[in-house]
Amino acid sequence: MRLSELAAAVPGAAVGAGGGFEVRRVVQDSRLAGPGDLFVAVRGLRADGHDFAAAAASRGAAVAAELPLHLPPGSAFVRLPDTRAGLGQLAGALWGRPARRLLVVGVTGSAGKTTTTHLAAHVLEAAGLPAGYLSTVAVRAAGAPDGNRSGQTTMEAPEVQAWLARMVAGGARAAVIEASSHALEQGRVAACDFDVAAFTNVGTDHLDYHGSAQSYLRAKARLIELCAAAPGKGVEKTAVLNRDDPSYDALAAYDVPRRLTYGTGEAADVRALDVRRSGSGMAMRIAAGGAEAPVQLPLPAMFNVANALCAAACALALGRPLEEVAAGLSSFPGLSGRLERVDRGQPFRVYVDFAHSAVGLASLLRELRSDLGGGRLLAVFGATARSDHDPAGMGAAAARHADHFVITTDDPLDVDPAELARRVEAGAAGRARGRDYDVLLDRRAAIRRAVGLARAGDVVVLAGKGHERTMQLASGPVPWDDRAEAEAALRDLGW
């Protein structure tokens, strides 16, 4: 598109020069900018894109900015009131507004949003609505999924819009997008034109970035505002809310044409009845709109029942029949790194999970303990270098819920792993090293220690890495795979 055409499609954009410039790509990294690119100068936490605009223009790129700039003579330039929001709008316009040709579900929350994203996309697909998805784990436009290699739960806006365009081209009629609080705050999901805004739960994550629990919830609630303001596509704009979560009252105060609630209580619109553990999953009946349907969910844990209800509510909001929704939940193939079982015939259970914060680890261990029977719960985990993951809180969670645990290394980045382990250990009050827990910084040794301690009927959980295939060290990423390490440890024990 010509720059003038692109600017005309974005509210508040005004061409300063070079309206005839042919734009083939929208970028926010000046190092990628060249002829045919529109470089959008976004102000970030560590750097301001305006500082690199002249360099991008010197390489032949057009520039979009909020502030006056000194650019090389003849540079194409467009002024935006907000480059963060404008980045997504420009990318969406360049790709032909693909979100307007899809029914779009946004999923956010402090925990469970990845599983819910995959569940919702699978249920929609099973109910006859071909769906792509973007999640922490993977992306899919059509056919087989591809791993999400961006390192972000939600990619930057140009990548999001490009994937939505691929979904349209691949025949998808719906898209499910996992939306982090950072993505909502930073405008990465601008121009996604949501039809459903779904919430798993809202805790107190990322306070180092958001500053307070109120600001964090406000960032999450932005999803409802985006949904309510999006162009209509023949379905009622809907907020899917967790009736059992403390965030419900605050989120229900936001204006949206329809609210659809889920939970275990009678006040919820979509409910789970007669929930029980069944084999390696959960059996239940799902009730909505006066009808009921049986579900054999192939995922363990009560929190996955909540995730399934959220996904079901999303599909119901888009008009899918309850019977087809229930069948889709029952046929879900599972998700890498989310309570993923590692089974080589051993008489104890081994799981790999992504829980990597104090809240997430406590929830995981509490759930696993409720299904122990007469066995013990053994955990392997470490604190990351992110300040909001509360290492001492992780130690406290393990001390409270695990029979034995091994503190190890998990993405230390430039922080001494031994120091992170000390912070975790400080929270394990009342438990004694060597008797109740071990500290083994070598994660391979830690996994082998826990697996080696396990007896018939025990549960071993390796928490923190989940689906990830690298460990982030000060020297850079190194290959890592918790599942492969667990399998190797079991194999060496003869299983």
pLDDT of residue 210: 47
Range of 326's domain? Answer: 98-330
Mean pLDDT computed over every residue of the chain: 93
Q: Which of 61, 92, 123 is the last residue of a domain?
A: 92
Examine residue 122 and state whether it is found in any structural domain, yes or no: yes
- Are 153 and 10 members of one domain? no
Condensed to tens digits (0 to 9), the pLDDT of residues 419-463 reads 999 999 999 999 999 999 999 999 999 999 999 999 999 999 999
The reported pTM is 0.89
Q: Which of 330, 356, 386 is the last residue of a domain?
A: 330
Question: Which amino acid belongs to residue 52?
Answer: F
Mean pLDDT along residues 30-47: 92
- Are 288 and 389 members of one domain? no
- Are 104 and 87 members of one domain? no
Banded model confidence at residue 205, pLDDT cuts 50, 70, 90: low
Residue 323, judged by CB atoms within 10 A of its CB (0-12, 13-18, 19+), counts as middle
Give Cβ neighbours of residue 235 (< 8 Å, ≥ 6 apart).
Answer: 103, 195, 317, 318, 319
Query: CA 67 to CA 65: how far, in whole Å?
Result: 6
Examine residue 335 and state whether it is found in any structural domain, yes or no: no
DSSP string, 59-112: TT-EEEESS-----TT--EEE-S-HHHHHHHHHHHHTT-GGGGSEEEEEE-SSS
Query: CA 261 to CA 241: how far, in whole Å?
Result: 5
- Are 193 and 75 members of one domain? no
- Are 88 and 102 members of one domain? no
- Tally of domains in the chain: 3
CATH value at residue 11: 3.40.1390.10
- Are 65 and 142 members of one domain? no
- Are 155 and 183 members of one domain? yes
Examine residue 390 and state whether it is found in any structural domain, yes or no: yes
